[in-house]
Amino acid sequence: MDLLNSLGIDNTLFYQLGIFLVGYVVLYNIVFKPYVAAHFERVRRTVGNMESNERVLADIQHLKVRHEKEARGLNEEYKSIYDKKRSEALSEYDKIVGHARDQSKSIIEDTRAKIQKEISQTKLNLEKEIPEVSQLLVAKLLK
C-alpha cells in the first residue's frame, strides 16, 4: 500500500475501478452490444444483398442471351417463311403476267390479222370500184 501511496494513489482507486467496471458493463449492454449487433446485421444484409444482386444480374444476363438466341431463331424462321412466300408470289406473278402477255399478244395478232384482212378486202373492193369511180369522174368532168 505504501507503494501506491508513494505514487499518489489512495483508497479511492478501488471505488473508481468498481464504478468504471459497473459503468463499462452498463454501457456495454446498453450501447456497445446493440451497436455491434446492428453493425454485423448491416454487414450480413449488405453482403447478402450483394450476392443476391450478383445472382439476379447473372440470371438477367442468362435470360438476355437466351432471349437473343430465341429472337434470332424466330427472325430466321420468319425470314425463311417470308422469302419462301415472296418467291412463290413472284413465280405466281410471273405466271399471271406471262399468261396475260400471251393473251394480249394473241389478241393483238388476231386483231392485226383482222385489220390486214379488212385492208386487203377494202383494197379489193376499191380496185373493183376504181373503174366505176373513174368513169363517173370522167363523166362529171366532161359535163
Question: Per-residue confidence of the chain (143 residues) as pLDDT tens digits?
Answer: 677 677 777 878 889 999 999 999 999 999 999 999 999 998 888 877 788 888 999 999 999 999 999 999 999 999 999 999 999 999 999 999 999 999 999 999 999 999 999 999 999 998 888 888 888 888 888 87
Nearest 5°: the CA angle 14, 18, 22 is 170
Please give the model's pTM, rounded to 2 decimal places. 0.44
The grid cell for 3 is 507503494
Q: What is the pLDDT of residue 1?
A: 63
Instruction: Count other C-beta atoms under 10 Å from residue 6's C-beta.
Output: 8
Residue 78, pLDDT score: 95
pLDDT at 117: 95
What does the alpha-carbon distance between residue 53 and residue 50 come to, in Å, rounded to a whole number? 5
Kindly list the distances between the CA atom of residue 140 and the CA atoms of 24, 132, 134, 137, in Å, as whole numbers in the listed order: 155, 12, 10, 5
Tally of structural domains, the chain: 1
pLDDT at position 82 is 96
Q: By residue range, what is the domain housing residue 22?
A: 2-142
